């Protein structure tokens, strides 16, 4: 299990995390954090958070809620701060839990329940490589966070890595033309200038995430207007988008776990689904949207989810349960952003009764009985950010997925890294002479799986 990498000692920690902002957390002292440890701990037992439609009854098919990921053991190595999660929305900036969260931002949560680790060790080698073919390939990039300079050009060098028939990313800053450019406030708020969008190597931008209301409702309206004026398709504000890709209609349905501006009631539809809540998560809206997309002629449904728990290297079983439920509802690809570090991916078999669910498999049944393969990309990490403190948040991946008859035909990933002076995103392979980057490259290969990694871009 990878140990936490120490914070670089030659410069201050500058990463202002998406959830809170480092300054906010400094209000909580260690004594208060220790006092909150019990409140922020993991539940004693794992329980199902929603029913799963297992499809037709089968004597050899277990109730999915009686096996992994619904049933698992606690992480014996979980640190006291592991379960301080902003996305649960059950604590505030003034809560002692903020002190635990500060520790998590600095140290990260690198371990997981043993069944989670064993599961990905078993599934990682079986991920189907991208391969060749005429079917459409879509690339997905992670969180496009605010950077402080080089706005028009910081993303251009990543163009070869994102190249695909359709290129998608999560824009995690607003572009409010009537507000000052910068970052600040509690929780941290971002506002980028219009030229921030000039050199991004994408076709579609997801706009709904926890930063959507950083500059109030007017800010997200401005962001949508500016993005579309520069030629991007957008999804997640007042509607989703369906795109024709090489003769196939691909619905891109986007949702966010919540909004940092808990003081505001949004005037725009931002498709909030509380994925981070540990009790039952209502998926009715997603189910209805998937059904509507299929009825409208979508050949494939991709769910763009701003979900997960920040600075955790493995998907929590809670999210793995939700992933299986979303595949059961009809998703072909589930694409996760939000944790700001990469997490493993998996494929999920639909209506393959010979493969039962449990550790080492993702297998679901649906009433229609039609076999297909889906993919769950739990977290792509960051595309860009203004971090200069931990290589794990400077590095991220671009995932490629080939879609065709039967769902997901192949997958691939490419590592990118944020460099500074000026800010820019480049292929990670260009910086392997840096020992820290080389160590992170080896960790990503082991964590994600080298078998489906794509050749490094020129």
pLDDT of residue 332: 98
**pLDDT tens figures, 308-358:** 999 999 999 999 999 999 999 999 999 999 999 999 999 999 999 999 999
pLDDT of residue 20: 45
According to DSSP, residue 34 is labeled H
| Count of residues in the chain | 458
187 or 284: which carries more pLDDT confidence? 284
pLDDT of residue 60: 77
**pLDDT tens figures, 392-424:** 999 999 999 999 999 999 999 999 999 999 999
Sort strands 241-245 and 363-364 into parallel, antiparallel or unpaired.
unpaired
Q: Is the peptide bond before 61 cis (omega within 30 degrees of 0)?
A: no
185 or 283: which carries more pLDDT confidence? 283
Sheet strands (E) in 34-165: 137-144
Structure confidence at residue 59 as a pLDDT band (50, 70, 90)? low
Structural domains of the chain in order of their starting residue, each with its CATH number: 118-448 (3.60.21)
Q: Give the burial string for 352-371 (b: 16+ CB within 10 Å, else e).
A: eeeeebbbbbbbbbbeeeee
pLDDT of residue 58: 60
Q: Which residues are CB-neighbours of 58 under 8 A, at least 6 positions away?
A: 353, 365
pLDDT of residue 24: 41
Quickly count: other Cβ atoms within 10 Å of residue 249's Cβ: 16
**pLDDT tens figures, 131-158:** 999 999 999 999 999 999 999 999 999 9
Kind plus residue range of the DSSP H or E element containing 401: strand 395-404
Residue 425 token pair: 């995103």
51 or 458: which carries more pLDDT confidence? 458
Query: Residue range 174-180: average pLDDT?
Result: 98
pLDDT of residue 330: 98
What whole-number distance in Å separates Cα of residue 270 and Cα of residue 447?
A: 32
Given a cut of 90, whether residue 7 has pLDDT beyond it is no
pTM of the predicted structure, to 2 decimals: 0.91
Q: Is the peptide bond before 331 cis (omega within 30 degrees of 0)?
A: no
Query: Residue range 230-238: average pLDDT?
Result: 98
Query: Residue range 65-79: average pLDDT?
Result: 97
Q: What is the chain's alpha carbon radius of gyration, rounded to the nearest angstrom? A: 21
Q: How far is CA 35 from CA 90, 97, 103, 162, 278, in A?
A: 16, 9, 14, 45, 21
**pLDDT tens figures, 376-397:** 999 999 999 998 879 999 999 9
Q: How far is CA 224 from CA 181, 227, 255, 434, in A?
A: 17, 5, 16, 38
What whole-number distance in Å separates Cα of residue 232 and Cα of residue 218?
A: 19
pLDDT of residue 458: 77
Query: Residue range 48-61: average pLDDT?
Result: 50
Structure confidence at residue 5 as a pLDDT band (50, 70, 90)? very low
Looking at the DSSP bridge assignments, the partners of residue 143 are 170, 382
Sheet strands (E) in 54-172: 137-144, 166-171
Given a cut of 70, whether residue 2 has pLDDT beyond it is no
Given a cut of 60, whether residue 15 has pLDDT beyond it is no
What whole-number distance in Å separates Cα of residue 291 and Cα of residue 296?
A: 9
Least confident of 52-61, 380-389, 423-432, 447-456: 52-61
263 or 250: which carries more pLDDT confidence? 250
């Amino acid at each position: 299990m990878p140990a936490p990498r120490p914070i670089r000692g030659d410069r201050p920690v500058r990463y202002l995390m998406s959830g809170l902002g480092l300054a906010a957390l400094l209000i909580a002292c260690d004594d208060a954090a220790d006092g909150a440890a019990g409140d922020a701990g993991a539940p004693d037992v794992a329980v199902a958070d929603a029913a799963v439609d297992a499809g037709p009854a089968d004597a050899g098919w277990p109730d999915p809620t009686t096996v992994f990921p619904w049933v698992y053991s606690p992480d014996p190595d979980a640190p006291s701060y592991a379960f301080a999660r902003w996305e649960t929305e059950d604590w505030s900036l003034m809560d002692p839990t903020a002190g635990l969260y500060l520790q998590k931002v600095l140290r990260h949560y690198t371990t997981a329940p043993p069944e989670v680790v064993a599961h990905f060790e078993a599934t990682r080698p079986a991920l189907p490589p991208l391969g060749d073919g005429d079917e459409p390939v879509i690339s997905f990039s992670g969180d496009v966070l605010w950077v402080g300079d080089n706005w028009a050009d910081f993303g251009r060098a990543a163009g070869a890595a994102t190249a695909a028939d359709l290129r998608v990313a999560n824009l995690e800053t607003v572009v409010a033309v009537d507000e000052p450019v910068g970052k600040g406030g509690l929780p941290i708020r971002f506002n980028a200038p219009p030229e921030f969008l000039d050199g991004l190597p994408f076709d579609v931008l997801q706009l709904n995430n926890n930063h959507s209301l950083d500059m109030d409702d007017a800010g997200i309206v401005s962001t949508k207007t500016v993005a579309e004026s520069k030629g991007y398709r957008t999804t997640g504000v007042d509607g989703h988008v369906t795109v024709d890709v090489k003769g196939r209609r691909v619905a891109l349905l986007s949702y966010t776990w919540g909004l940092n501006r808990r003081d505001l009631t949004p005037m725009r539809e931002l498709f909030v689904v509380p994925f981070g809540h540990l009790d039952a998560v209502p998926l009715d809206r997603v189910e209805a949207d998937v059904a509507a997309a299929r009825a409208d002629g979508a050949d494939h449904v991709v769910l763009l989810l701003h979900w997960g728990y920040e600075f955790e290297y493995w998907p929590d079983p809670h999210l793995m349960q939700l992933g299986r439920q979303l595949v059961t509802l009809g998703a072909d690809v589930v694409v996760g952003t939000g944790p700001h570090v990469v997490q493993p991916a998996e494929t999920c078999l639909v209506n393959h009764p010979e493969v039962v669910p449990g550790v080492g498999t993702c297998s679901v049944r649906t009433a229609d009985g039609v076999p297909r393969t889906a993919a769950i990309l739990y977290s792509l990490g960051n595309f860009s950010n203004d971090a200069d403190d931990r290589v794990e948040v400077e590095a991220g991946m671009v995932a490629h997925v080939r879609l065709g008859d039967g769902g997901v035909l192949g997958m691939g990933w490419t590592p990118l890294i944020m460099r500074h002076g000026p800010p820019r995103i480049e292929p990670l392979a260009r910086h392997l002479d840096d020992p820290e980057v080389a160590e992170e490259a080896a960790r990503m290969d082991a964590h994600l799986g080298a078998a489906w990694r794509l050749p490094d871009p020129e």
